[in-house]
Structure 1
Amino acid sequence: MKLLLVGYGAMNKRVAALAEKCGHSISGVITPVEEENCPYPLFTSFDDQLPEADVLIDFSHPDLTKRMLQSDLTVPMVIATTGEKDTLVKLMQDKAESAPVFFSANMSYGVHIVTQLLEHIAPLMDAYDIEMIEKHHNQKIDAPSGTLIKLLDAIKENGRQDAREVYDRSQVTEKREKKDIGISTIRGGTIVGEHEVLFAGVDEVISIKHTAQSKDIFANGALTVAEKLINKTNGFYTYNNLGV
């Protein structure tokens, strides 16, 4: 495959390295940020004369992703940008009328499986309190993570429609309400990513946890999706309907 990368942060650097090991090539990188050590052709705008590519992989920032989705590009798009989810999904659905578009807040297939587990478990756990914890490195900008929001949505849509997210209990002095879902965010060091959902009942706790030990799981996930997406017709895809 010929890949066009949107953004050249830590994730797309891993995508590029792993892609070349697999025999793929990088046609270019689109980024408004100056990249002194980028070995690939650089472009600052989606209006530039961009090189030929089979698929685009986007690990960037919502501002850049929005510009991409509002451009005239019709190349298949693998999008893993987090933040401004509602706005981006609407733009992706519009773009999907003219291109195959895949989106996941987390490109790990393991996280997809955890999401499916939560969809099945949530309706069975009405007697349990739910707490969610996510941990990431100290350079991550958004909080809570897009992955936690993805897991939270799976719970709310399948068993806790009236849930109230609680992000900071230090501002109130009251006991927990039944509909509360506590959300804790930790940032530090080089933690790649860890997400845990606790179902706390009477005298027992059930924990569902995913730990990312390397950014490579996300890069490999993006490449696997890209290989599938280039053969798809126009439409909006997720792990649920791509057939990975």
Structure 2
Amino acid sequence: MKILLVGYGAMNKRVAQLAEENGHDIVGALSPTEENDCPYPLYDSVTTDLPEADCLIDFSHPTLTKEVLNSAITLPMVIATTGEKETLFDLFTEKAQSTPVFFSANMSYGVHIVTQLLENIAPLMDDYDIEMIEKHHNQKIDAPSGTLIKLLDAIKENARPDANEVYDRTQSTEKRDQKDIGISTLRGGSIVGEHEVLFAGHDEVISIKHSAQSKDIFARGALKVAEQLVNKQNGFYTYNNLYV
């Protein structure tokens, strides 16, 4: 499989290494900034003559992702960019008319399983308070993480449509409301990624937690998705329908 990388940050560096270890070829990287450590042909614009490829894998930034989605590129697209979700989803839908497009805020299959668990468990937990905690390394710039938003959406769409998202309690002198979903964001060190959902009831707490031990789980996930996506018809895909 010939892969075009979109962005050449930490994640796509891991994608490149694992791809080559598994017999795939990296034909180039699309990046508007100069990447001195990139061993592959660099392309600074979506309007340049890009190399022949079977798919692209995008671990970049919403700005670059939007340029790709608005371009004439029709390669199957694995999108792992987080941020500006609503804008990107509109573009996903439009682009999916001309090419297969896959998106996940977290490429870990384990996070997909946790999401499905929450979709099924949350409706059973009406009498429980919900708190969500996410932890990442000190270089992550967005908060809360795209993965936490994904998990939050699973809860709200299936059980708590009227939930109040609470990010700061320092200015409140009132008791916790049953509709509150507390969201805590931690940044420090080299934490790859941890997401925990607490269901706190009377005399018991149920915790659902996912811990990433290495960035490789996201890179491997993206490659596995790409291997499936190149054989799909045009359309918008997530983990919920990719393997159907």
Q: TM-score, normalised by structure 1?
A: 0.99
The CA deviation at 1:143 is: 0.2
| Equivalent position of 2:162 in the other structure | 162
Runs of 4 or more above 6 Å deviation: none
The CA deviation at 1:5 is: 0.3
Secondary structure (helix, strand or coil) at the match of 1:150 reads: helix
Q: Deviations over 1:8-56 (max 9, x none)?
A: 0000000000000000000100001111111000000000000000000
CA distance in 1 between partners of 2:171 and 2:107 (Å): 35
The CA deviation at 1:120 is: 0.1
| Equivalent position of 2:97 in the other structure | 97
Equivalenced residue count is 244
RMSD: 0.6
| Equivalent position of 2:75 in the other structure | 75
Q: Are 1:235 and 2:235 matched, yes or no?
A: yes
The CA deviation at 1:62 is: 0.3
CA distance in 2 between partners of 1:105 and 1:185 (Å): 17
Q: Deviations over 1:165-193 (max 9, x none)?
A: 00010121111000000000000000000
| Equivalent position of 1:59 in the other structure | 59
| Equivalent position of 1:178 in the other structure | 178
CA distance in 2 between partners of 1:11 and 1:231 (Å): 24
Secondary structure (helix, strand or coil) at the match of 1:4 reads: strand
Q: Are 1:190 and 2:190 matched, yes or no?
A: yes
CA distance in 1 between partners of 2:32 and 2:50 (Å): 14
CA distance in 2 between partners of 1:210 and 1:60 (Å): 23
* Matched AA of 2:59: F
* Matched AA of 2:87: T
The runs of 5 or more residues in structure 2 that have no matched partner are none
CA distance in 2 between partners of 1:237 and 1:146 (Å): 17
* Matched AA of 1:97: Q
| Equivalent position of 1:23 in the other structure | 23
Q: Deviations over 1:102-146 (max 9, x none)?
A: 000000000000000000001000000000000000000100000
Secondary structure (helix, strand or coil) at the match of 1:147 reads: helix
Secondary structure (helix, strand or coil) at the match of 1:83 reads: coil
* Matched AA of 1:189: G
| Equivalent position of 2:42 in the other structure | 42
CA distance in 2 between partners of 1:37 and 1:73 (Å): 26
* Matched AA of 2:178: K
Q: Percent of pairs identical after alignment?
A: 78
The CA deviation at 1:201 is: 0.2
| Equivalent position of 1:138 in the other structure | 138
| Equivalent position of 1:120 in the other structure | 120
Secondary structure (helix, strand or coil) at the match of 1:35 reads: coil
